[in-house]
């Protein structure tokens, strides 16, 4: 048996399919990342439209509302991730639907962070 063949056999049997980790943990990470990204865009818009929220988001004065917008989004992302991980870690979930939701949220966050109002 050549060395190459031996390696292929060893690696292809390294994880029996029956012991594969369920996709729940991955789904939790993906959906929470989509929600966290969308939160950045959403909080940006809120801070832009409301003077009250803008002041509320100023956690560190030299950086202005950006400090609060990003800190709030990061906290929300981590909280959602921890919650979903706790609930889904041992489960297999419908990942295709979760992927679609996460991709839409991610796409929206790319678009919504663009300052359309400042273009004109």
Partner 1 sequence: MEITTRGLWTLIHGMGFGALYLLAGSGALVLLHLRFSTEAQMNVSHRGDRFFGIYLAVMAALGWLTVLTGTYIVYPWYRAAAPAGTANLAGFPRALLLSNPATRQWHSVGMEWKEHVAWLVPIAITMAAAIAIKYGRGLRFHPQLRSALHVFLVTSLVAAGIAGFFGAMLDKNARVEGGQTIHLIQGGKL
Q: Does 41 interact with partner 1 (rule: CB under 8 A)? A: yes
Q: Does 46 interact with partner 1 (rule: CB under 8 A)? A: no
Q: Does 42 interact with partner 1 (rule: CB under 8 A)? A: no
What is the rounded CA–CA span in Å between residue 116 and residue 120? Answer: 8
Asked if residue 73 lies in contact with residue 51, where contact means CB atoms within 8 angstroms, the answer is: no
Q: Does 51 interact with partner 1 (rule: CB under 8 A)? A: no
Instruction: Please identify, using beta-carbon distances, which residue of 55 and 113 lies nearer to partner 1.
Output: 113
Instruction: Please identify, using beta-carbon distances, which residue of 4 and 52 lies nearer to partner 1.
Output: 4
Q: What backbone phi and psi angles, to 5 degrees, belong to 46?
A: -60, -45
The residues binding partner 1 (CB under 8 A) are: 7-8, 11-12, 14-15, 17, 20-21, 23, 25-26, 29-30, 32-33, 36-37, 40-41, 44, 60, 62-64, 66-67, 69-70, 73-74, 77, 95-96, 99, 102-103, 106-107, 109-110, 113-115, 118-119
């Amino acid at each position: 048996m050549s060395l190459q063949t031996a390696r292929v056999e060893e690696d292809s049997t390294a994880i029996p399919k029956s012991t594969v980790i369920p996709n729940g943990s991955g789904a939790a990470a993906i959906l929470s990342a989509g929600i966290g990204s969308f939160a950045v865009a959403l909080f940006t818009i809120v801070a832009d439209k409301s003077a009250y929220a803008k002041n509320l988001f100023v956690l560190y004065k030299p950086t202005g509302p950006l400090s609060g917008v990003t800190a709030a989004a990061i906290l929300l992302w981590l909280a959602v991730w921890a919650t979903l991980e706790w609930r889904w870690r041992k489960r297999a979930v419908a990942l295709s639907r979760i992927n679609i939701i996460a991709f839409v949220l991610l796409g929206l966050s790319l678009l919504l962070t663009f300052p359309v109002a400042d273009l004109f």
